[in-house]
Copies of this chain bind each other. A is one copy, B any other.
Amino acid sequence: MRIALAQLNPTIGALNQNLKKIKEYYQRGMEGGADLVVFTELALSGYPPRDLLTYKSFPDSERELINNELLPLTAQNSPPILIGATHRQENRLFNAALLLEKGEIKSTHLKTLLPYFDVFDEERYFTRFKNRKIEMLGDLPTAITVCEDIWNDMEYFSAPLYDNDPLEGLFAQGARLLINLSASPYHRGKHALREDMLPFLAKKYNTAIIYLNQLGANDELVFDGSSLIYNHRGELLYRASAFEEELIYIETETLFQPALEITPPDRDDISTINQILQLGTRDYVTKTGFKKVVFGLSGGIDSAVVAALAAEALGPENVLGIMMPSPYSSEHSVHDAVKLAENLGINYRIVKIDQPFNAFIDMFNQGEGPRQDLAEENLQARLRGNILMHISNREGYLTLVTGNKSELAVGYCTLYGDMAGGLAILADVPKMMVYELANYLNDNHGREIIPRRIITKAPSAELRPNQKDEDSLPPYDVLDPILQMYLENNLSPAEIIETGYDKDIVQKVIRMVETSEFKRRQAAPGLRISPNSFGPGRRIPIARGYEYF
């Protein structure tokens, strides 16, 4: 049997547009001799549809398209389709895999494990289903599962999240092939986790595995494809692209033969993050109907990396950097920014903020000149925000936020100022990793795209004379590890101090994190690359009194 797997990039809710692509890939699969064409979890709606599922018409429209557009394709001797879709039964909604065959829904495979942690909210929309049955695909007894269903092995995980594992029941029925329709977003370390857990399952159950994952970004989440095929010995037979749509063919016979060669482990490193951020940027911009982006180009490292990523993701002709020097900007800043823009071939403009800044200062300080206090620092950031939003509103650019995760974590950023914009592409990238990206981008281009001085000079917001980030923050090589332990590894302050960091610094950092929640509540969506990003998966109350040390 020849199976075709479609790793596609859907747009959330765009049922007709997604259908069109599904039909195209079905056609290609059929022409490629497939006996079955497989699509990902909730393939027509895209994942996650979130509250679109609460519009009654949404699952209804989806089912109509399946009945009227997909089922007829499978009539007579055309290959069946296995596709993720919602399924309503006795007034409950399920997250299902549907097998469409000979013009009918031959079987439904309803998801048992509904993730409800982090960015996942499936318990809100779906009902759990427990009595799972295997399916004969040709002569292969197959466990058809949906995403989370395979992630609760009681031996593999030391603290399984759910009290049951649907795989146990399915393999007790004699399954020899495991198909998993996924929509699993990227974070650092997830490739390694998948490529460790899946072969474990293959060996445990002596089963071949087809793991088909959604591609493409939806708001914060970047789905990284990287679909995987394992033989029953747990040897990797195929790994799909993390950044491109693919139609993958697999002969079921090969699933039970030794691998012809050993595939090296996945290289999930700074180059992956570079690609993920580009995919996330491109998808957000295009799926929200924009083409061009604008952002502040300060001559600093963050905006330089944003410029380079955006230029690659969208084409330099669609990228506009605005240099907005103030009286406190150092001379080299505009110079460096112009050099960068020229290296990248992006558009740029220089818009001095002196005039409106002086007008405000006159007004606020009754003609006494600047006081150089925090309020005036924020004012400069907000004037720049005004300028970017004006260009966005008047000329149809999407504004990108250039701030990094370290800043956002400690609140070293201005609401409505440098935080203004539609998408924050470095919001989950710590400062030290921004440097790593800058160096990688230069290496990758084989030349100095990002001018050396931008990488080597001391980070500064340039909001008062001779200001340096280190005046307000610990050095980033101290700050970043503390933030990672606190935010990503869930270490308590005491545990962080035990690793050797200074108690006062740790407490200061954590106090900054805890008191800047109100800023993040109003932050733009930020692309996620870590297991614990800010955004909808983080739910910390603002008005509160807990001191975490």
Contact digits for A359-386, partner B, Cβ 8 Å, 1 yes 0 no: 1101110000000011100110011011
The closest CB in chain B to the CB of A14 belongs to B545
Known: A373-B394, A416-B420. A13 touches B536 (CB 8 A): no
Is B539 within 8 A of A51, CB to CB? yes
Q: Is A334 an interface residue (CB 8 A)?
A: no
Q: A58-B546, A363-B355 are in contact. Are A52 and B17 (CB under 8 A)?
A: no
A284 smallest CB distance to B (angstroms):
5
Interface string of A46-65 (1 = CB under 8 A from B): 10111110111110000000
Residue of B nearest to A393 (CB): B375
The residues in A between 99 and 152 inclusive whose CB is less than 8 angstroms from any CB of B are: 116-117, 121, 123-124
* A15 at the B interface (CB under 8 A): yes
Measured in the bound complex, the distance between the Cα atoms of B12 and A478 in whole Å is 31
Q: Which of B50, B123, B284, B359 contacts A540 (CB 8 A)?
A: B50
Q: Which of A388-429 contact B (CB under 8 A)?
A: 389-390, 393-394, 415-416, 420, 422
Q: Mark A463-480, 1 if CB is under 8 A from B, else 0.
A: 000000000000000000
Query: In the complex this chain forms, how many copies of it are found?
Result: 2
Q: Does A542 contact B (CB under 8 A)?
A: yes
Which residues in B have their C-beta under 8 angstroms from that of A539? 50-51, 121, 124, 536
For residue A182, CB closer than 8 A to chain B, the reply is no
Q: A417-449 interface mask toward B, CB cutoff 8 Å, 1 = contact, 0 = none? A: 000101000000000000000000000000000
Q: How far is the CB of A528 from chain B (nearest CB, A)?
A: 14
Task: Tell me which of A203-211, A235-243, A454-462, A518-526 binds B.
Answer: A518-526
The chain B residue sitting closest to A379, CB to CB, is: B390
Q: B393–A543 contact, CB under 8 A?
A: no
Q: Which residues of B contact A536 (CB under 8 A)?
A: 539
Task: Contacts A159-B91, A355-B359, A389-B382 given; indicate if A544 touches B52 (C-beta within 8 A).
Answer: yes
Known: A121-B539, A375-B394, A378-B389. A546 touches B52 (CB 8 A): yes
Between-chain CB contacts (< 8 Å), 19 pairs: A11-B543, A12-B544, A12-B546, A13-B541, A14-B544, A48-B541, A50-B541, A51-B538, A52-B540, A55-B492, A57-B548, A121-B539, A287-B545, A288-B518, A352-B363, A355-B360, A355-B362, A373-B394, A415-B420
The 4 closest A-B pairs by CB, nearest first: A14-B545, A13-B546, A375-B394, A287-B543
Q: Identify the A interface with B (CB < 8 A).
A: 11-15, 17, 46, 48-52, 54-58, 91, 116-117, 121, 123-124, 159, 217-219, 283-284, 287-288, 351-352, 355-356, 358-360, 362-364, 373-375, 378-379, 382-383, 385-386, 389-390, 393-394, 415-416, 420, 422, 490, 492, 518, 521-525, 536, 538-546, 548
